[in-house]
Structure 1
Amino acid sequence: MKKISLFAFMLAGFLSQAQNNLTIEEATLAAQKGFGIKSFYSAQWRTNNELTYIDAPYNALIAKDTNGTADETLVTTADLEAAIATAINEKVSLRMIPFDYHWENEKELSFTYQGESDKYYVIYNIETKKVSKTIKFSATSTEEIIAPAKNYIVYLNKNNVEIAFENGNVVKVTNDPEHVVNGSSNTHRNEFGIDRGLWISPDGKKILFYKKDERMVADYPLIDFGTRIAVEKPIKYPMAGMKSEEVSLHIYDIDSKTTTQLNIEGDKEQFLTMPTWSPDSETVYVGVLNRGQDHLKLQRYFATSGKLDKQLFEEKSKTYVEPNTPLKFLNDKEFIYISEKDGYRHMYRYNTNGKQMNSYVYNDVVFKDFVDVSSKEIYYMGTANKGMDKLLYKVDLKSGKTQPVTKTSATYTVEMNKDKTWYYSQYTNLTTPNNISLNAVNGKSTVELLNAPNPYEGKTVLPKIEMVTIKAADGKTNLNGRLLYPTNFDENKKYPVMVYVYGGPHAQLVTNRFGGGAGGFDYYMAQQGFVVFTLDNRGSENRGRDFEHIIHRQLGQNEMADQMEGVAFLKSKKFVDADRIGVYGWSFGGFMTTSLMLNYPETFKVGVAGGPVIDWKWYEVMYGERYMDTPEENPEGYEKVSTLNKVQNLKGRLLMIHGAQDPVVVQQHSMEFIETCIKAGKQVDYFLYPTHEHNVLGKDRVHLNAKIADYFMTHLK
Structure 2
Amino acid sequence: MKFPKILVAFILATSSVLTAQKKEVSLEEIWSGTFSEERLQSLQSLNNGEEYVVLDRDRTTGNTRIDVYSYKTGEKTRTLVNSADLDGINSFQAFKFSSNEEKILLSTEVEPIYRRSSREIYYVYDVNTEKLTKISEKKIQEAAFSPDASKVAYVFENNIYIHDLNSGQAKQITTDGEINSVINGITDWVYEEEFSFVKAFAWNPTGEKLAYLKFDESEVPEFSMDMFGRDLYPRQHVFKYPKAGESNSEVSLHMYDVGSDSSEEIDLGDKFDLASESSETGNVVKDFYIPRIKWTADPMLLSVQVLNRHQNNLELIFVDAEDNDAEVVMNETDKAYVDITDNLTFLEDNSFIWTSEKDGYNHIYHYDEDGELINQITSGDWEVTNYYGYDPEANKIYYQSTENGSVNRDVYSIKPNGKSKTRLTKGAGMNSADFSADYTYFINSFTNTNTPHVYTLRRARDGKEVREILNNSNLLKKVEDYDFSPKELSTINVNGNELNMWIIKPSDFDENKKYPLLMYQYSGPGSQSVSNSYFGTNDYWYQLLANKGYIIACVDGRGTGFKGADFKKVTYQELGKYEVEDQISAAQKLGERSYIDKDRIGIWGWSYGGFMSSNAILKGNDTFSLAIAVAPVTSWRFYDTVYTERYMRTPQENPSGYDENSPLNHVEKLKGDYLIIHGGGDDNVHLQNTMRMVEELVQANKQFDWAIYPDRNHGIYGGNTRLHLYNMMTDFILEKL
TM-score (norm 1): 0.90
Q: Which residue of 2 aligns with 1:93?
A: 90
SS in 2 for 1:42: coil
Q: Which residue of 2 aligns with 1:589?
A: 609
Any idea what the Cα deviations from partners look like across 1:138-157, whole Å, max 9, x if unmatched? 54112222121111111121
Query: Is 2:431–2:446's contact at 8 Å kept on the other side of the alignment?
Result: yes
Could you tell me how far apart the structure 1 residues matched to 2:613 and 2:225 are? 25
Any idea what the Cα deviations from partners look like across 1:620-646, whole Å, max 9, x if unmatched? 111111111111211222222121221
Query: Is 1:119–1:139's contact at 8 Å kept on the other side of the alignment?
Result: no
Q: Does residue 187 of structure 2 align to residue 221 of structure 1?
A: no
Q: Does residue 248 of structure 2 align to residue 254 of structure 1?
A: no
SS in 2 for 1:137: coil
Could you tell me how far apart the structure 2 residues matched to 1:8 and 1:300 are? 79
Aligned with 1:493 (options 499, 513, 537):
513
Could you tell me how far apart the structure 2 residues matched to 1:381 and 1:103 are? 28
Query: Is 2:95–2:107's contact at 8 Å kept on the other side of the alignment?
Result: no
SS in 1 for 2:469: strand
Q: Which residue of 2 aligns with 1:370?
A: 387
1:561, CA displacement in angstroms?
Answer: 2.1
Query: Is 2:70–2:76's contact at 8 Å kept on the other side of the alignment?
Result: no
Could you tell me how far apart the structure 2 residues matched to 1:271 and 1:229 are? 39
Q: Which residue of 2 aligns with 1:168?
A: 168
How do 1:271-670 residues align onto structure 2 when only pairs under 5 Å count?
271-308=289-326, 310-325=327-342, 327-375=344-392, 376-443=395-462, 444-453=464-473, 455=475, 456-473=478-495, 475=496, 477-515=497-535, 519-670=539-690
Q: Which residue of 1 aligns with 2:279?
A: none
1:5, CA displacement in angstroms?
Answer: 8.6
Of residues 194-203 and 140-149 in structure 1, the stretch that sits farther from structure 2 once superposed is 194-203
Letter in 1 for 2:568: E
* C-alpha spacing 1:353/1:76, structure 2 compared with 1 (3 Å): closer
Letter in 2 for 1:38: E
1:487, CA displacement in angstroms?
Answer: 3.0
Q: Which residue of 2 aligns with 1:189?
A: 191
Could you tell me how far apart the structure 1 residues matched to 2:45 and 2:302 are? 31
Q: Which residue of 2 aligns with 1:88?
A: none
Of residues 572-581 and 193-202 in structure 1, the stretch that sits farther from structure 2 once superposed is 193-202
Could you tell me how far apart the structure 2 residues matched to 1:541 and 1:139 are? 43
Query: Is 2:209–2:257's contact at 8 Å kept on the other side of the alignment?
Result: yes
User: Structure 2: 5+ residue runs without aligned partners?
Assistant: 111-119, 274-285
Aligned with 1:72 (options 48, 73, 76):
76
Query: Is 2:98–2:145's contact at 8 Å kept on the other side of the alignment?
Result: no
Could you tell me how far apart the structure 2 residues matched to 1:624 and 1:509 are? 21
Letter in 1 for 2:163: A
Any idea what the Cα deviations from partners look like across 1:377-405, whole Å, max 9, x if unmatched? 21123334332223222120134443322
Query: Is 1:113–1:121's contact at 8 Å kept on the other side of the alignment?
Result: no
* C-alpha spacing 1:306/1:72, structure 2 compared with 1 (3 Å): closer
1:616, CA displacement in angstroms?
Answer: 1.2
User: Structure 1: 5+ residue runs without aligned partners?
Assistant: 86-90
Any idea what the Cα deviations from partners look like across 1:456-483, whole Å, max 9, x if unmatched? 334322223211111231x1x3221110
Query: Is 2:189–2:241's contact at 8 Å kept on the other side of the alignment?
Result: no
Of residues 133-142 and 54-63 in structure 1, the stretch that sits farther from structure 2 once superposed is 54-63
Q: Percent identity?
A: 29
Letter in 1 for 2:261: K
Could you tell me how far apart the structure 1 residues matched to 2:634 and 2:11 are? 52
Letter in 1 for 2:658: Y
Letter in 2 for 1:181: I
Of residues 605-614 and 44-53 in structure 1, the stretch that sits farther from structure 2 once superposed is 44-53
1:280, CA displacement in angstroms?
Answer: 2.2
Could you tell me how far apart the structure 2 residues matched to 1:702 and 1:103 are? 41
SS in 2 for 1:131: coil
* C-alpha spacing 1:63/1:169, structure 2 compared with 1 (3 Å): closer
Could you tell me how far apart the structure 2 residues matched to 1:340 and 1:653 are? 41
Any idea what the Cα deviations from partners look like across 1:172-213, whole Å, max 9, x if unmatched? 112222221121144643324545312111111111112111
Any idea what the Cα deviations from partners look like across 1:409-461, whole Å, max 9, x if unmatched? 22233222233222222211122212112112244552112232151334322
Query: Is 1:393–1:404's contact at 8 Å kept on the other side of the alignment?
Result: yes
* C-alpha spacing 1:194/1:40, structure 2 compared with 1 (3 Å): closer
SS in 1 for 2:127: strand
Any idea what the Cα deviations from partners look like across 1:564-607, whole Å, max 9, x if unmatched? 33213422332211111111101110000000000011111111
Q: Does residue 206 of structure 2 align to residue 203 of structure 1?
A: yes
Q: Which residue of 1 aligns with 2:240?
A: 236
SS in 2 for 1:701: helix
1:54, CA displacement in angstroms?
Answer: 5.4
Letter in 1 for 2:736: H
Aligned length: 693
Of residues 367-376 and 499-508 in structure 1, the stretch that sits farther from structure 2 once superposed is 367-376
Letter in 2 for 1:564: I
* C-alpha RMSD of the superposition: 2.9
Any idea what the Cα deviations from partners look like across 1:519-566, whole Å, max 9, x if unmatched? 332222223321111111111122221111011011111112222332
Query: Is 1:464–1:486's contact at 8 Å kept on the other side of the alignment?
Result: no
Letter in 2 for 1:92: I
How do 1:40-55 residues align onto structure 2 when only pairs under 5 Å count?
40-46=40-46, 47-53=48-54
TM-score (norm 2): 0.87
Could you tell me how far apart the structure 1 residues matched to 2:292 and 2:343 are? 4
Could you tell me how far apart the structure 1 residues matched to 2:135 and 2:524 are? 44
Q: Which residue of 1 aligns with 2:108?
A: 114
1:650, CA displacement in angstroms?
Answer: 0.2
Could you tell me how far apart the structure 1 residues matched to 2:456 and 2:466 are? 7
SS in 1 for 2:135: strand
Could you tell me how far apart the structure 2 residues matched to 1:150 and 1:518 are? 44
SS in 1 for 2:130: strand
SS in 2 for 1:20: coil
Letter in 2 for 1:328: T
Q: Does residue 722 of structure 2 align to residue 701 of structure 1?
A: yes
Q: Which residue of 2 aligns with 1:684?
A: 704
Letter in 1 for 2:544: Y
Could you tell me how far apart the structure 2 residues matched to 1:109 and 1:603 are? 61
Of residues 315-324 and 451-460 in structure 1, the stretch that sits farther from structure 2 once superposed is 451-460
Could you tell me how far apart the structure 2 residues matched to 1:14 and 1:581 are? 33
Of residues 586-595 and 42-51 in structure 1, the stretch that sits farther from structure 2 once superposed is 42-51
1:613, CA displacement in angstroms?
Answer: 1.1
Letter in 2 for 1:427: F
* C-alpha spacing 1:280/1:403, structure 2 compared with 1 (3 Å): same
Query: Is 1:299–1:311's contact at 8 Å kept on the other side of the alignment?
Result: yes
Query: Is 1:54–1:61's contact at 8 Å kept on the other side of the alignment?
Result: yes
Query: Is 1:260–1:304's contact at 8 Å kept on the other side of the alignment?
Result: no
Query: Is 2:103–2:124's contact at 8 Å kept on the other side of the alignment?
Result: no
